[in-house]
Amino acid sequence: MTKPKPQEEPPASALHKLLPDVTPLPRANRAHAHKPPPTPVAAQRTRNDRAVLDESLCDADPWEQGFENGDELNFLRPGLASDTLRKLRRGHWKLQADIDLHGLTVAEARPALVEFLNECLREGLRCVRVIHGKGLGSKNREPVLKRKVASWLAQRDEILAFCQARRTEGGGGAAVVLLRGGKRERSNQ
């Protein structure tokens, strides 16, 4: 035989038993706070703004970023010694790997370059060559990939400097890139 469970009293009646002399406020005397509806968000405008931002970050023109001097590519990350670029031009660092992008479209070249740079960083390489071509086979015989590669390289924090390759390494159709050193290299310095 089980005992029936006692039912609990609602909190208001329990409070009323504890405080019998207190009378509750009339309901009509309470304020009703209404939240204003949220302001509408222009979803298409947000998408458009995001697209413009993405485009400006991905394919900025090199002359706007200040790393192209005439026809020759030059870039040095702020805060580095100015002789770093001079040493890079003169072949101070040995080329450890290269990638040949000429003949690829812009859509094909970017992921290939990203994959190549990521692999070089994983392996701890410091100096690599990116062959972008001179643009002789492109429309108006202008180097499309040269400008794009320069822009893409400058956007990556791991890239310390780059310049046009020496004539024996590809000249105006290639760039020599100095990458940030790996952990093992820093510990030896």
Structural domain span for residue 177: 47-188
**Could you tell me if residue 35 is inside a domain?**
no
Q: How far is residue 164's CA from residue 100's CA, in Å, rounded to a whole number? A: 15
**Could you tell me if residue 72 is inside a domain?**
yes
* CATH classification of the domain holding 108: 3.30.1370.110
**Could you tell me if residue 66 is inside a domain?**
yes
3-state SS string for the chain: CCCCCCCCCCHHHHHHHHCCCCCCCCHHHCCCCCCCCCCCCCHHHHHHHHHHHHHHHHCCCHHHHCCEECCEEEEECCCCCCHHHHHHHCCCCCCCEEEECCCCCHHHHHHHHHHHHHHHHHHCCCEEEEECCCCCCCHHHCCHHHHHHHHHHHHCCCEEEEEECCHHHCHHHEEEEEECCCHHHHHHC
**Could you tell me if residue 109 is inside a domain?**
yes
Q: Which of 57-61, 98-102, 129-133 has the lowest mean pLDDT?
A: 57-61
**Could you tell me if residue 12 is inside a domain?**
no
**Could you tell me if residue 87 is inside a domain?**
yes
The 10s digit of each residue's pLDDT in 96-122 is 999 999 888 889 999 999 999 999 999
Per the structure, the count of domains in the chain is 1
**Could you tell me if residue 1 is inside a domain?**
no
**pLDDT exceeds 60 at position 66:** no
Confidence of residue 185 (pLDDT cuts 50, 70, 90): very low
Q: Phi and psi dihedrals of 164, rounded to 5?
A: -65, 140
**Could you tell me if residue 3 is inside a domain?**
no
The 10s digit of each residue's pLDDT in 37-48 is 888 888 888 887
**pLDDT exceeds 90 at position 179:** yes
**pLDDT exceeds 50 at position 56:** yes
